[in-house]
Amino acid sequence: MKSTLARGKAAFLEYYSRLHLVPDLESYLTAKNPPVLLVSPLHESETKKEFASHHLSWHPLDWFPHTISWPPEVKIGTPLPGFQPGWLYSLNPSSLLPVLAVNPQPGDTILDACAAPGGKTLAAINLLWPKIPHLISADASLPRFKRLRTTLKLFGFPQIVTLHSPVQALPYKLAEQFDKILLDAPCSSEKHVFNSKRHLKIWSPNRIATLSHLQNLLITTLLPLLKPDGQLIYSTCALSPAENEDIVAASLAKHPELTLTKPPQRYTDPHSQFDPMFIATFEKSKSLPES
């Protein structure tokens, strides 16, 4: 029997419109928010001089260190001074929000569990600089892992420990426990899908079910690596509640040792600079609550 499961753009819009997450879904998904630029703190003065020599604007973000706005006079995607040597890293401002939630502190041991291609690892470095976080960055995809290693090397931090491994194998490869774990989980990434003809053509609701199952599994897998009183920061760039609020509810029900440090945050304001982002911070208690 052939599957009658709806696919493609019409099915996508019908599914997400029923969720009433944003008022004008299609406009929201196609809006292009300017990226920001992480600047290597080791090469910041050189990069700033290069910008000045090319008469480019240099506007530091007031809420994230060693990071500047994309020069408004330059078309997004244009190569900028600092790109070629790897001293700049472009990403959406929303990608900085999970790193702010991690709030790396001197002495923290941190795991970036799905780290490639490396933006959040670099952001953690910039946020703590001139201290360098005790950080392990892992990723399952070999091509993306290689890109992560190259990105760290060019940015000036080849000493950051990296690990090519699926999250499910990390408990067998890492003996230490972590104060903080960032799980920026594989997710539906609807904005990316909607703007990719290839991905949108084959989209179906089954993708959400598959990913939510994986997300639940990843949280369960990572908990043994978290110290008592440690924090697991769960984030996605998904819109679907099945990958966000439902994951939080399922995790709290399945793992009584977990609590939320504050209500989860969902960023879907169409008038903000942020692409979709969801963040929940779990804390692991020292002992299970009494029944």
Please state, rounded to an integer, the average pLDDT across all residues of the chain: 94
Domain span at 278: 8-32+93-284
pLDDT of the residue at 6: 74
Asked whether the bond before 270 is cis by omega within 30 degrees of 0, the reply is no
Residue 263, domain member (yes or no): yes
Residue 58, domain member (yes or no): no
Q: What is the CATH number of the domain that holds 266?
A: 3.40.50.150
- Kindly report, residue by residue over 127-161, the tens digit of the pLDDT: 999 999 999 999 999 999 999 999 999 999 999 99
- Kindly report, residue by residue over 66-112, the tens digit of the pLDDT: 999 999 999 999 999 999 999 999 999 999 999 999 999 999 999 99
Q: Which residues are annotated as a binding site for S-adenosyl-L-methionine?
A: 114-120, 139, 184
In which band, very low, low, confident or very high, does the pLDDT at 239 lie, cut at 50, 70 and 90?
very high
In terms of Cα–Cα distance, which of 47, 51, 97 is closest to 74? 51
CA distance 47 to 210: 43
Residue 187 among the catalytic residues: no
Residue 28, domain member (yes or no): yes
What percent of the chain clears pLDDT 70, i.e. is strictly above it?
A: 97
Domain count for the chain, please give it: 1
Residue 238, domain member (yes or no): yes
Residue 208, domain member (yes or no): yes
Asked whether the bond before 228 is cis by omega within 30 degrees of 0, the reply is no
Q: Which residues are annotated as a binding site?
A: 114-120, 139, 184
DSSP H helix total and E strand total for the chain:
11, 11
Residue of 237, 242, 248, 277 marked active site:
237
- SS3 of 152-202: the string is HHHHCCCCCEEEECCHHHHHHHCCCCEEEEEEECCCCCHHHHHCCHHHHHC
Residue 251, domain member (yes or no): yes
